[in-house]
Every structure is written in structure tokens, then in C-alpha cells.
């Protein structure tokens, strides 16, 4: 078996045909859904690119691996999916984005050179990169993405785009009356990007994947990780024109949300991003472009599926489709992600297992509470190894794929968000270590706990599926709050760092109790088995005077 682990960036769970979007057509996403199992309650462990991805790539909660925000390095030595899979005899490749930042201090302290195989794997989050490109090149004075090298930009230059940064000037900008219409300004989202469609980011990465498939020797896992439909919201023709304002769904929001909101929610609603996305004109421009980007992703997926079908590799390739988080798109008066409404924390997840054991679930859906960390466990088990539960906190989804019901399953799903780096931390005047949020969701009730002394937020998705009524201060809900808090506290006390000693090792270390009797403070030699204590009986070798 091989594993093609496809991730889109910022793809909402409900922007797929198979998930019920009334206008967006995604025939190839749907083709996967028809061949596999679609999970309707899949949540990420942190609704922000970097942290979420580190959870996918380690199988561990964000507070377990510690890389809790974009740019926080993953600590040196943290075991990754690649480490686990290679131990199981499966290679592990990267095609695209990871958002990984290497722990340069830790690597230097351990003498690891990024040029060595070991160092490169440490620096690349355990993957062997076919190509790595995180996108978002050349933010200019904002600077955050200026310092890296982009294979995609190199490609564009080789294709003759006349610019130092064709990613910004062509792939993510239109042209109007000879003036640049940059995708960084959402007003330009309706323009076609000034690039040949086949040179844009999604087809480019798809080509890299097809090249990989040409030469790959299994068993392999390939993480095909697209940068889109993440912003800048701009897409080349013909995709820029496939959808219009008539396809923009009304925002999921209510004036009630702005009436005495939770302080943290208020701070996020007051952010510049949120204020932008609260404007109808922004949604009218952005959402059709977002849908066009998704449609392009879908078309490119079709190329890959066609290739796998043609070569027969579909029969021995598990295919996974998911995203690192969603996109508010103006819902709940918010933009981007970060908080825990479904639009942000819930992700699409489709898994196609070609083996006959999965025949019974093809084309069906599964409503179990699934976490993004479950994929690492699923892949490790698919590679034929046992999931090291003292390290990997997720659980294999193979039982669901194979039509089985696990004897026990999690009662709640947990997600976390560290907002210490954001302006909201300052406007809320919260200490850095307290700028953390936790979601506990049982499938109906969703609790959001904020450190720093705030009241809880609570939503009942049964009576309020749109999550617009915060019941956190409702005395009638105190028991639900207490119940979900108890889940949170039990989770918080979990054993997450005993990563050097497995349960099996602990079990094996326990010999029969009698065998360790000598360490049990035996009083008299007669109280202990003679063969066990032979070394401590009998004639003394001599006394120290030689007597």
C-alpha cells in the first residue's frame, strides 16, 4: 500500500459538492467521496496553519508538541509521521507546503547540520522533500515570508515571467489598464491572475506530484500539500469567472453575536481582518474567487486520479483529502480562521482505502468525532506498524473504513489556539502564557475555555446549529459547562510526554513480583528465594584486613 495524503490549505468543510454546497461543483472531490468514506465531524487540533500541520505531522495535540503558532519551531527530536513510517518500512515524501520552521537553536545545540540527511529531516518536519514551497512569497515590508527560496518562483522565472517575484506580480496579481491589481487587495479578487493557468500554483504542484508518481517505488507516503485555496484570493482564467455574486451564500451570522459578546470573541470581531470580512463587498469579491480556486484544485485532482487509474495504482494507493483548517469568509463577523466555529475548526476529510475490507463503506459518511491527529495513527497502521500510543495521541480510523465500530471512541474532540502573537492579546491585556483557548466538543455541545480568567463560551449545535447563541453565561447550562470542563481537565492531565517508554515496555518490565524481591527490603535471608539471593549468601570473601 501507498498513501497519497492530500492537503488543501484553508479549504472549508462545506465547500465541496459532496458536502452539499448548492453552487460549487467538485466532481473529483465527489469522485473520492464515492470511492471512500467521508467523515462529517473531522476537526483540526488547532485552527491555524502551522500549529494544525504540526499536529497532523506528529499525531500529537498542539500543547503536546509545543509548536502552537505559525513560525514556532517544532522542537528538535520530536517524532514525526516520517520517523514512524520509515521505521515501518515506508518512505515519506513532501510535495508542497508544511509551514515547518526548524528548531535552529536545538539543532545547533545537538550539532545537526541542515545539510545532512538527519538534519534535513529535522528541518523538514520528518519529510524527505520532493519539493517544498510554502507560498506567500514577498510580502515586502511585512517581511515574514521574504527570506526563503521558492521553487515555484524559480519555475515561473524559468518560464519567462519577467519579475524578481513573479509569485506576487503574476500568479497573485491581475492587471488592469497596465496597472498591477494585486491579489493582496481583496478588491482585486474578481480579476483573473496575470498568468497562464497551467503555470499557476495548483497545476504546478500537481505536475510535481505526477513526476513523483512516475518514478516512486513503494511503499511510500506522499504528502501532496497545496497552498490553495488559501489567500491571496485570486485565480487565473477561466476560474475567475466561473462563479459570481449570485453564488455567494448569505453569511452565517447574527446581530445577537455582537450583543455583549465574550471578550475574546469581541476582540477578534474587532480585528482589522474581521472588519474587512464583515463587509458585503468583500465577500462578494472574495467568495467567487475562493470557489474558483477550489474548482481549480478539483480539476487538478482529476488529473491525479486519472493517472492513478490509468496506471492501476489506484488499487494499492490510499488517498486522503483534507485541509489544515477552514475559512470564516465573513461568517460570524470574522475572516480567516483562529476561533472554533465550524467554519474554522471543522475540515473536509475523505479517505479512500482501496482494499476489499473497505468495500462496505464506499460512498458513505461517518459521523464519529474524528481529530486530525488520527491520520498519523491511520497511516502508521496502514504501513503495518502498531501505533505507538505513548507518542501518537490520535487513533487509527481504519476500523471505520472497514465498517467496524471501535469498542470505545473519544467522547469529545479537543482543539487549541494560542493567540499570544496576535494584536488581540494586547487589546485584551492578557499575559502571554494565558493567551490560549481550548475547544471541547461532544458533537452537540461546544465549550470554549479561555485561560486568563474569562467566562466560558458555550454553543448547543442541536438547537443552534449556526452557533450564534453563546450560552456560556446561561445558568441553565452550568451543568453542560461543568461536564465539558471535566473532559478538558482529564485531557489536560493526560500523559503526553512519556515518549521514551512505551506501554509495552512498561508491561514487559514487570517481571513476577518475587523476582524483584531483593529490592523489596527483605528482612531475613530466610524470607527470600535462595536462588534469587545466592549472591548475598555464603562465606564472606574476606574481611578488609584480609582476615
Tell me which residues in 198-257 interact with its own copies (CB under 8 A): 199, 231
| Residue 426 binds its own copies (CB under 8 A) | yes
| Residue 498 binds its own copies (CB under 8 A) | yes
**Segment 367-396, which members bind its own copies (CB under 8 A)?**
389-390
Q: How far is the CB of 498 from its own copies (least distance, A)?
A: 5
Nearest to 437 by CA among 447, 458, 426, 451: 451
Q: How far is the CB of 390 from its own copies (least distance, A)?
A: 8
**Segment 25-64, which members bind its own copies (CB under 8 A)?**
63-64
Nearer to its own copies, 20 or 544 (CB): 544
What's the CA gap between 273 and 131, in Å, rounded? 31
What is the per-residue binding string for its own copies in 326-365, x denoting contact by CB under 8 A?
A: ---------xx-----------------------------
Cβ neighbour number for residue 123 with a 10 Å cutoff: 25
What's the CA gap between 237 and 289, in Å, rounded? 11
Number of residues that bind its own copies (CB under 8 A): 124
Nearer to its own copies, 473 or 499 (CB): 499
List 173, 369, 439, 447, residue binding its own copies (CB under 8 A): 173
Q: Which residue has the cell 514577498?
A: 138
Q: Which residue has the cell 502571554?
A: 432
**Segment 459-488, which members bind its own copies (CB under 8 A)?**
485, 488
| Residue 77 binds its own copies (CB under 8 A) | yes
Specify the DSSP class assigned to residue 455.
P
List 115, 147, 179, 463, residue binding its own copies (CB under 8 A): 179
Q: How far is the CB of 375 from its own copies (least distance, A)?
A: 21
List 152, 161, 454, 459, residue binding its own copies (CB under 8 A): 161
Helices (H), 88-215: 104-109, 117-123, 151-158, 166, 201-215
Specify the DSSP class assigned to residue 115.
T
Q: What distance, in Å, lies between the first and last C-alpha atoms of the chain? A: 72
Q: How far is the CB of 392 from its own copies (least distance, A)?
A: 13
Q: Which residue has the cell 483534507?
A: 322
- Give the HSE-up count for residue 223: Cα atoms under 13 Å, Cβ half-sphere: 34
| Residue 517 binds its own copies (CB under 8 A) | yes
Q: How far is CA 7 from CA 64, 130, 163, in A?
A: 22, 16, 29
Q: How far is the CB of 389 from its own copies (least distance, A)?
A: 8
Specify the DSSP class assigned to residue 544.
T
What's the CA gap between 343 and 334, in Å, rounded? 10
Q: How far is the CB of 352 from its own copies (least distance, A)?
A: 32
Q: How far is the CB of 400 from its own copies (least distance, A)?
A: 23
What's the CA gap between 512 and 493, in Å, rounded? 30
Pairing of strands 445-450, 220-225: unpaired
| Residue 147 binds its own copies (CB under 8 A) | no
What's the CA gap between 459 and 144, in Å, rounded? 36
What is the per-residue binding string for its own copies in 252-281, x denoting contact by CB under 8 A?
A: -------------------xxx--xx-x-x
Nearest to 432 by CA among 44, 101, 145, 69: 69
What's the CA gap between 285 and 12, in Å, rounded? 17
**Segment 89-108, which members bind its own copies (CB under 8 A)?**
103, 105-106
List 420, 446, 454, 456, residue binding its own copies (CB under 8 A): 420
For residues 491-529, b (16+ Cβ closer than 10 Å) or e, as one string?
A: beeeebeebeeeeeeeeeeeeeeeeeeeeeeeeeeeebe
Please provide the size of the chain in residues: 547
For residues 9 and 324, the answer to whether their CB atoms sit within 8 Å is yes
Q: Which residues contact 232 (CB under 8 A, 6 or more apart)?
A: 172, 182, 183, 184
3-state secondary structure of 345: helix
| Residue 433 binds its own copies (CB under 8 A) | yes
Stretch that binds its own copies, among 221-229, 261-269, 401-409, 420-428 (CB under 8 A): 420-428
Cell of 367: 459521523
Q: How far is the CB of 403 from its own copies (least distance, A)?
A: 27
| Residue 282 binds its own copies (CB under 8 A) | yes
Nearest to 484 by CA among 452, 444, 454, 453: 444
List 10, 122, 225, 344, residue binding its own copies (CB under 8 A): 122
Stretch that binds its own copies, among 159-167, 316-324, 406-414, 439-447 (CB under 8 A): 159-167
Nearer to its own copies, 77 or 363 (CB): 77
For residues 4 and 317, the answer to whether their CB atoms sit within 8 Å is yes
List 58, 186, 206, 296, residue binding its own copies (CB under 8 A): 186
Q: How far is the CB of 191 from its own copies (least distance, A)?
A: 11
Nearer to its own copies, 1 or 88 (CB): 88
| Residue 409 binds its own copies (CB under 8 A) | no
3-state secondary structure of 415: strand
| Residue 144 binds its own copies (CB under 8 A) | yes
Cell of 146: 521574504
Q: How far is the CB of 254 from its own copies (least distance, A)?
A: 22
Stretch that binds its own copies, among 319-327, 401-409, 468-476, 502-510 (CB under 8 A): 502-510
Q: How far is the CB of 448 from its own copies (least distance, A)?
A: 13
Stretch that binds its own copies, among 6-14, 109-117, 304-312, 357-365 (CB under 8 A): 109-117
| Residue 178 binds its own copies (CB under 8 A) | yes
| Residue 510 binds its own copies (CB under 8 A) | yes
Amino acid at each position: 500500500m501507498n498513501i497519497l495524503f492530500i492537503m488543501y490549505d484553508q479549504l472549508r468543510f462545506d465547500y465541496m459538492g459532496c458536502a452539499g454546497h448548492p453552487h460549487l461543483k467538485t466532481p473529483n472531490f465527489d469522485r473520492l467521496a464515492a470511492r471512500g468514506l467521508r467523515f462529517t465531524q473531522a476537526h483540526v487540533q488547532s485552527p491555524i496553519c502551522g500549529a494544525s500541520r504540526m499536529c497532523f505531522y506528529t499525531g500529537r495535540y498542539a500543547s503536546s508538541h509545543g509548536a502552537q503558532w505559525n513560525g514556532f519551531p517544532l522542537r528538535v527530536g520530536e517524532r514525526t509521521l516520517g520517523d514512524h513510517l520509515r521505521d515501518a518500512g515506508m518512505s515519506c515524501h513532501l510535495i508542497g507546503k508544511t509551514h515547518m520552521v526548524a528548531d535552529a537553536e536545538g539543532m545547533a545545540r545537538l550539532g545537526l547540520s541542515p545539510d545532512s540527511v538527519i538534519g534535513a529531516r529535522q528541518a523538514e518536519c520528518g519529510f524527505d522533500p520532493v519539493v517544498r514551497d510554502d507560498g506567500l512569497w514577498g510580502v515586502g515590508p511585512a517581511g515574514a515570508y521574504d527570506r526563503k527560496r521558492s521553487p515555484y518562483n524559480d519555475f515561473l522565472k524559468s518560464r519567462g515571467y519577467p519579475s524578481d517575484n513573479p509569485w506576487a506580480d503574476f500568479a497573485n496579481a491581475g492587471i488592469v489598464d497596465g496597472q498591477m491589481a494585486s491579489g493582496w487587495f481583496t478588491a482585486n479578487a474578481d480579476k483573473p491572475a496575470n498568468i497562464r493557468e497551467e503555470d499557476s500554483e495548483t497545476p504546478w504542484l500537481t505536475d510535481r506530484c505526477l513526476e513523483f508518481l512516475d518514478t516512486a517505488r513503494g511503499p511510500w507516503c506522499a504528502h501532496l500539500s497545496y497552498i490553495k485555496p488559501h489567500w491571496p484570493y485570486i485565480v487565473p482564467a477561466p476560474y475567475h469567472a466561473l462563479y459570481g455574486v449570485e453564488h455567494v451564500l448569505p453569511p452565517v451570522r447574527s446581530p445577537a453575536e455582537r450583543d455583549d459578546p465574550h471578550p475574546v470573541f469581541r476582540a477578534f470581531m474587532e480585528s482589522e481582518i474581521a472588519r474587512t470580512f464583515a463587509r458585503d463587498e468583500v465577500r462578494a469579491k472574495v467568495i467567487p474567487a475562493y470557489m474558483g480556486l477550489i474548482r481549480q484544485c478539483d480539476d487538478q485532482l482529476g488529473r491525479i486520479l486519472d493517472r492513478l487509474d490509468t496506471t492501476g495504482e489506484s488499487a494499492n494507493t490510499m488517498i486522503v483529502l483534507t485541509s489544515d483548517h477552514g475559512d470564516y469568509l465573513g461568517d460570524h463577523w470574522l475572516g480567516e480562521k483562529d476561533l472554533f466555529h465550524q467554519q474554522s475548526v471543522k475540515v473536509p476529510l475523505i479517505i479512500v482505502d482501496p482494499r476489499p475490507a473497505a468495500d462496505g463503506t464506499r460512498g458513505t459518511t461517518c459521523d464519529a468525532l474524528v481529530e486530525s491527529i488520527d491520520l498519523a495513527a491511520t497511516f502508521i497502521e496502514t504501513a503495518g506498524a502498531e501505533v505507538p500510543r505513548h507518542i501518537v495521541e490520535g487513533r487509527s480510523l481504519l476500523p471505520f473504513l472497514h465498517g467496524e465500530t471501535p469498542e470505545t471512541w473519544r467522547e469529545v474532540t479537543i482543539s487549541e489556539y494560542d493567540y499570544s502573537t496576535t494584536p488581540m492579546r494586547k487589546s485584551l491585556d492578557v499575559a502571554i502564557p494565558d493567551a490560549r483557548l481550548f475547544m471541547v466538543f461532544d458533537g452537540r455541545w461546544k465549550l470554549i475555555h479561555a485561560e486568563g480568567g474569562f467566562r466560558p463560551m458555550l454553543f448547543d449545535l442541536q438547537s443552534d446549529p449556526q452557533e450564534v447563541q453563546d450560552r456560556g453565561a446561561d445558568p441553565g447550562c452550568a451543568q453542560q459547562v461543568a461536564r465539558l470542563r471535566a473532559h478538558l481537565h482529564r485531557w489536560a492531565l493526560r500523559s503526553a510526554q512519556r515518549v521514551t517508554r512505551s506501554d509495552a515496555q512498561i508491561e514487559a518490565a514487570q517481571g513476577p513480583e518475587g523476582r524483584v524481591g531483593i529490592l523489596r527490603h527483605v528482612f531475613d535471608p530466610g524470607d527470600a528465594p535462595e536462588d534469587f539471593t545466592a549472591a548475598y549468601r555464603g562465606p564472606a570473601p574476606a574481611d578488609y584486613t584480609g582476615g
